[in-house]
Amino acid sequence: MDASRRSKRVKEIAHNLGFNACGISVASKLEEEEKHLETWLKKGYQGKMHWMENHFEKRLDPRKLVPGSKSVISLIFNYFPKTNLSNHPLKVAKYAYNEDYHFVLKRKLKEMVKLMAAEFGDIEGRVFVDSAPVMERAWAAKAGLGWIGKHSLLLNRQQGSFFFIAEIISDLELEEDGPTTDHCGTCTACIDACPTDAIVNNKVVDSNKCISYLTIELKDEIPSSFKNDMEGWIFGCDICQDVCPWNKFSSPQALDEFQPSEDFIGMHKNEWEDLTEEVFKDIFKKSAVKRAGYLKFKKSIQFCKEDGDN
């Protein structure tokens, strides 16, 4: 079986497992991204996410991360929920409504590698879901799954941006797909809507100002300078995605693991404020919200409550 036929079969396997799209790139160094990453780090836009400074070469070249690799298989999986809770006074990013995507997608990726091995024989394939120094957006764009929008997220003409990105880096030789074109045009909706001015340039986000960073990754207190700017977000933020015109094409997907639980839907503002650690662990036992931890989550709720009281 030649590379073209293998690639077609890989995409069929991905589709059968529920992935919305699959694209392929040759495993090589991301030359163009090297300069952008170096500049971004030098400006300190990573905030206190010091791990972003580690494994610089591996982050840019999958062959250094997975020796012997020949192909990067990029996949996207829609998570747009049937129930949208963005109008809630205290808001959680849509991707964290229910089960942690790392576990859900890794199960699917491991099954995909197993099916590929059954199809093509003995292959090496390592799976990644936002869990290693892999520039997933760059690889997905390189594989034609979309383009990098002004908010620095991947955009797809058919699906918008509410999807997870995953990769399989493999020693399987496949036929590469080319990149698509940029379709943001003169639109600046995401830049204009960001209440903290985190989008400092086209495709450049200063994490120090990003609500997602402030409510998840930043372990210190949220700086008081962001009072009146949080707009009720207590874990993550969807503002730049919600205002993007391309997300009018976002449609709910059926996977139960990403739908909000009844307990989560039933929480009202006062209940969030009175949230105990026991209830937190029960509601978010499988959720990515656990990354923030109970104390951080409570502090974000209190910060937003004070924000709303002003």
CB 131 within 8 A of CB 102: yes
CA distances in angstroms from 298 to 92, 100, 221, 280, 301, listed in the order given: 13, 20, 11, 10, 5
CA distance 65 to 53: 15
Evaluated on CA atoms 250, 189, 130, 165, the torsion sign reads positive
CA distance 120 to 116: 6
CA distance 209 to 7: 41
Angle, helix 101-120 to helix 3-16, in steps of 10 degrees: 140
Distance of CA 225 to the CA centre of its chain: 27
CB 151 within 8 A of CB 212: no
CB 232 within 8 A of CB 62: no
Question: E-assigned strands of 193-283?
Answer: 199-201, 204-205, 233-235
If 0-12 CB within 10 Å is exposed, 13-18 middle and 19+ buried, where does residue 252 land? middle
Respond yes or no: is residue 130 known to be catalytic: yes
The pair of structure tokens assigned to 280 is: 């937190």
The active-site residue out of 61, 100, 130, 177 is 130
Q: Which of 20, 21, 17 is nearest to 110 (CA)?
A: 17
The pair of structure tokens assigned to 88 is: 């809630």
CA distance 113 to 169: 10
Which residues are the active-site residues?
Answer: 130
